[in-house]
């Protein structure tokens, strides 16, 4: 469960500051598939970074599975990111010179998982995303769609109950983008994984069961499909 109340975020801008999020409050329940939409500068990515424990906030409350994120130190935040949240980014955020298996195993290197178990878990998630036959290839040899599937497998491997996806189809052609969104929807429905997708694309947003629209740092619209 994600719950934020009256979140405010400011950025320094010259001699002044920019109010990126303004008293934003929302709840995202376990197993929801949510899109967060808005124009450039609306606050989408700022919200994603806060939800993903990648950035701090200036005021308000953030409870993640009942725990207060604002009270956590850097080490606790890193542990939460590794254990509870999987990230899927527009640029894939993979280690290009390493192979597919290494990239999917990467979150497990920060846990006490045995290497043999790490390989088994990674292979299982690669099978789920349809890439069992690419396991030994370098990431640099893959197509864009395959890279995004590797990123999704990596997001799943640590048992994360939440996937945060920032413009996951932005670097893909329309057909491949639909395949990626179908995969995310299937994972959401089959495994009960909470999926939050940041997008400016109405077609991508249509896969979600709930749409949230940000405008100038405030929630303009929040409604289930």
Q: Tens digits of per-residue pLDDT, 18-54? A: 999 999 999 999 999 999 999 988 999 999 999 999 9
Q: Per the structure block, which two tokens stand in for 7?
A: 């979140």
Distance, CA of 221 to CA of 208 (rounded, Å): 14
Quick one: what percent of the chain has pLDDT higher than 90? Answer: 89
With a cut of 60, say whether residue 6 has pLDDT above it.
Answer: yes
Q: Render pLDDT for 40-92 as a digit per residue (tens, 0 to 9).
A: 889 999 999 999 999 999 999 999 999 999 999 999 999 999 889 999 999 99
- Which residues have C-beta within 8 Å of that of residue 164, sequence separation ≥ 6? 48, 51, 52, 85, 86, 87, 88, 196, 198
At residue 203, φ and ψ (nearest 5 deg) are -65, -45
With a cut of 80, say whether residue 121 has pLDDT above it.
Answer: yes
Q: Render pLDDT for 155-205 as a digit per residue (tens, 0 to 9).
A: 999 877 999 999 999 999 999 999 999 999 999 999 999 999 999 999 999
**Residue 2 forms beta bridges with which residues?**
28, 64
Distance, CA of 165 to CA of 168 (rounded, Å): 6
With a cut of 60, say whether residue 225 has pLDDT above it.
Answer: no
What does pTM read for this prediction? 0.94
With a cut of 90, say whether residue 112 has pLDDT above it.
Answer: no
217 in Cβ contact with 186 (< 8 Å) = no
What are the E-state strand segments in the chain?
2-13, 16-28, 33-37, 59-64, 67-68, 85-89, 162-166, 194-199, 210-215, 218-224
With a cut of 90, say whether residue 109 has pLDDT above it.
Answer: no
199 in Cβ contact with 167 (< 8 Å) = yes
**Residue 189 forms beta bridges with which residues?**
none
């Amino acid at each position: 469960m994600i719950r934020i109340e009256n979140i405010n975020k400011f950025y320094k801008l010259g001699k002044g500051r920019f109010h990126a999020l303004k008293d934003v409050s929302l709840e995202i329940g376990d197993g929801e598939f949510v899109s967060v939409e808005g124009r450039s500068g609306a606050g989408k990515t700022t919200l994603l970074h806060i939800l993903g424990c990648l950035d701090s906030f200036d005021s308000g409350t953030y409870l993640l599975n009942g725990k207060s994120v604002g009270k956590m130190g850097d080490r606790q935040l890193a542990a939460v990111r590794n254990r509870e949240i999987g990230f899927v980014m527009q640029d894939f955020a993979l280690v290009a010179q390493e192979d597919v298996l290494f990239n999917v195993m990467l979150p497990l290197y920060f846990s006490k998982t045995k290497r043999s178990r790490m390989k088994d878990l990674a292979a299982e998630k690669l099978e789920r995303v349809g890439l069992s036959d690419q396991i030994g290839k370098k990431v640099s040899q893959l197509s864009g769609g395959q890279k995004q599937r590797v990123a999704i497998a990596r997001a799943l491997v640590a048992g994360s109950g939440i996937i945060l996806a920032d413009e996951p189809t932005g670097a893909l052609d329309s057909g491949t983008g639909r395949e990626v969104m179908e995969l995310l929807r299937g994972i959401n429905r089959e495994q009960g994984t909470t999926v939050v997708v940041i997008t400016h694309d109405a077609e991508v947003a249509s896969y979600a069961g709930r749409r949230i629209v940000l405008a100038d740092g405030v929630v303009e619209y929040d409604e289930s499909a």
